């Protein structure tokens, strides 16, 4: 039985380990922190006892790799699936606009939703739809060297259209300003979301906290197939002999009994434990932050599961019944703000958009994820490394490798599956 060490217990590492365990490999997963999930985990909030996520995460029907992984570990039952796309958008003074597909065949259902989106005037909807219908036919060469903002300007998407739709979608998906984000990367997302079938655009939300949604299931799959999961153990150095990894040192031991290693840690971490990795020297990943503001109310009057906010520093509101989660993507300009200042911002926006006043708030907790995602700029499109390295038994996983996707759950899961596939293929050669 071939043995593989997986370093890192986020989505990428858990995916790789689960696939390998399911394929008959002996797997040992090593995670430096006391919990699994990487940047996507949940925990119990001390004062309220509520289970909260470190940051709100949603999935979509086009997340095929993620849904396949969750099915593998038996976690697909832990999700809430929309029957069709339905998103409530709010403007100031609780003015609600619904983007909803009708029960008609694809793609007419999608067109009907866009045509009836009343946050835009009839004229703006025409301009919007004219551009939208061009997306599947756009040539990659046209988009490689321009930003999302430049693309939208070229296609006559005015400020009203950008604020009411494109900015909310792009900033949420890419976690960066549209002037920085690659148009090519955004186009790839749009094609997957809106032009790959009737279920692709529907939104999928976890029923429970993220740890309860997938981490526990993945651990069960690994352990039930005689694998190991070790927490609070950090890899300090990886050693090699010419073109093969020979052993590694952790904070508690030396490990040399393996055939393969999958590194599923961030780019900056693999460079520390294996400086000789020789990744693309031009790769310069910059990161963007996300701020989550969890709010508990005396009386929660919010009815829908989530809302997108039009022209607000708060991009989304998610309703967990016992608390709300307000999400600020591309939040680098706010990370230096104090918790009190961020709470005041949240209270102002909450009143402005929902009518909920500050006096109704009984508790809040703010989480800053400063390295939430890398910025998918046009400069790094062709610089992200493949999952194979110059070492024949070392493979990479993580949302930062070349998956063709931005820094999302889907990218992390896809990278983990790709790494597992590479290990399986390599094992047949040895």
Q: What is the pLDDT of residue 282?
A: 63
- The C-alpha atoms of residue 409 and residue 58 are separated, in whole angstroms, by 9
User: Tokens 């832990």 sit at which residue?
Assistant: 78
Q: What is the pLDDT of residue 378?
A: 85
User: Is residue 171 within 8 Å of 177, Cβ to Cβ?
Assistant: yes
- The C-alpha atoms of residue 355 and residue 357 are separated, in whole angstroms, by 6
Report whether pLDDT(237) > 80.
Answer: yes
Report whether pLDDT(429) > 80.
Answer: no
* Per-residue pLDDT tens over the stretch 112-133: 999 999 999 999 999 999 999 9
* Per-residue pLDDT tens over the stretch 238-255: 999 999 999 999 999 999
Q: How far is CA 3 from CA 36, 246, 328, in A?
A: 21, 13, 42
What's the whole-model pTM score? Answer: 0.94
Q: Which domains does the chain have, with CATH numbers?
A: 3-40+207-283+384-427 (3.50.50.60), 101-199 (1.10.405), 287-374 (3.90.660.10)
- The C-alpha atoms of residue 413 and residue 16 are separated, in whole angstroms, by 8
DSSP state of 165: I
Name the average pLDDT for the chain. Answer: 95
- The C-alpha atoms of residue 428 and residue 23 are separated, in whole angstroms, by 13
- Cβ neighbour number for residue 126 with a 10 Å cutoff: 11
User: Is residue 146 within 8 Å of 186, Cβ to Cβ?
Assistant: no
* Per-residue pLDDT tens over the stretch 259-280: 999 999 999 899 999 988 877 6
Q: What is the pLDDT of residue 426?
A: 95
Bridge partners, 30 (sequence order): 7, 230
Q: What is the pLDDT of residue 198?
A: 86
Count of residues for the chain?
430
From the list 383, 421, 393, 382, the residue with the least C-alpha distance to 279 is 383
- The C-alpha atoms of residue 296 and residue 63 are separated, in whole angstroms, by 31
* Per-residue pLDDT tens over the stretch 63-96: 999 999 999 999 999 999 999 999 999 999 999 9
Q: pLDDT confidence of 171, banded at 50, 70, 90?
A: very high
Q: What is the pLDDT of residue 398?
A: 97
- Cβ neighbour number for residue 256 with a 10 Å cutoff: 10
Q: pLDDT confidence of 257, banded at 50, 70, 90?
A: very high
DSSP state of 121: -
Q: What is the pLDDT of residue 277?
A: 87
Q: Which of 29-38, 260-269, 285-294, 421-430 is predicted with the least confidence, judged by mean pLDDT?
A: 421-430
HSE at residue 137, side-chain half, CA atoms within 13 A, is 5
Q: Which of 2-11, 99-108, 347-356 is predicted with the least confidence, judged by mean pLDDT?
A: 99-108
């Amino acid at each position: 039985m071939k043995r593989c060490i997986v370093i890192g217990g986020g989505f990428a590492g858990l995916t790789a380990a689960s696939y390998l365990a399911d394929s008959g490999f002996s797997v040992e997963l090593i995670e430096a922190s006391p919990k699994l999930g990487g940047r996507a985990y949940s925990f119990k909030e001390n004062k309220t006892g509520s289970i909260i996520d470190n940051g709100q995460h949603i999935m979509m029907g086009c997340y095929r790799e993620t849904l396949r992984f969750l099915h593998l570990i038996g976690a697909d039952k832990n999700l809430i699936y929309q029957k069709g796309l339905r998103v409530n958008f709010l403007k100031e003074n609780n003015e609600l606009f619904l983007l909803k597909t009708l029960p008609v065949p694809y793609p007419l259902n999608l067109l009907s939703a866009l045509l009836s989106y009343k946050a835009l005037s009839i004229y703006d909807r025409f301009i919007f739809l004219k551009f939208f219908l061009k997306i599947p036919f756009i040539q990659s060469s046209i988009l490689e060297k321009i930003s999302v903002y430049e693309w939208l300007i070229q296609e006559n998407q005015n400020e009203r259209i950008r604020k009411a739709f494109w900015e909310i979608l792009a900033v949420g998906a890419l976690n960066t300003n549209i002037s920085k984000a690659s148009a090519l990367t955004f186009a790839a997302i749009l094609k997957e979301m809106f032009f790959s079938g009737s279920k692709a655009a529907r939104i999928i939300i976890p029923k429970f906290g993220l740890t309860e949604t997938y981490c526990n299931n993945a651990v069960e799959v690994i352990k039930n197939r005689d694998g190991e999961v070790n927490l609070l153990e950090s890899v300090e150095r990886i050693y090699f002999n010419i073109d093969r990894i020979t052993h590694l040192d952790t904070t508690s031991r030396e490990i040399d009994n393996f055939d393969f290693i999958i590194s599923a840690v961030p780019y900056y971490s693999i460079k520390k434990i294996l400086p000789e990795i020789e990744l693309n020297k031009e790769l310069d990943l910059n990161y963007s932050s996300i701020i989550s503001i969890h709010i508990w109310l005396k009386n929660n009057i919010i009815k829908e599961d989530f809302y997108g906010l039009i022209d607000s520093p708060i991009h989304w509101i998610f309703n967990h019944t016992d608390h709300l989660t307000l999400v600020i993507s591309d939040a680098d300009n706010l990370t230096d703000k104090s918790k009190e200042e961020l709470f005041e911002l949240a209270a102002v926006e909450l009143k402005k958009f929902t009518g909920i006043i500050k006096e109704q708030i009984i508790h809040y907790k703010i989480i800053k994820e400063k390295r939430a995602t890398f910025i998918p700029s046009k400069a790094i499109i062709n610089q992200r490394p493949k999952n194979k390295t110059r070492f024949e038994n070392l493979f990479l996983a993580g949302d930062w490798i070349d998956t063709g996707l931005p820094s999302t759950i889907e990218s992390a899961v896809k990278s983990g599956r790709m790494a597992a596939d590479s290990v399986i293929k390599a094992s047949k050669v040895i």
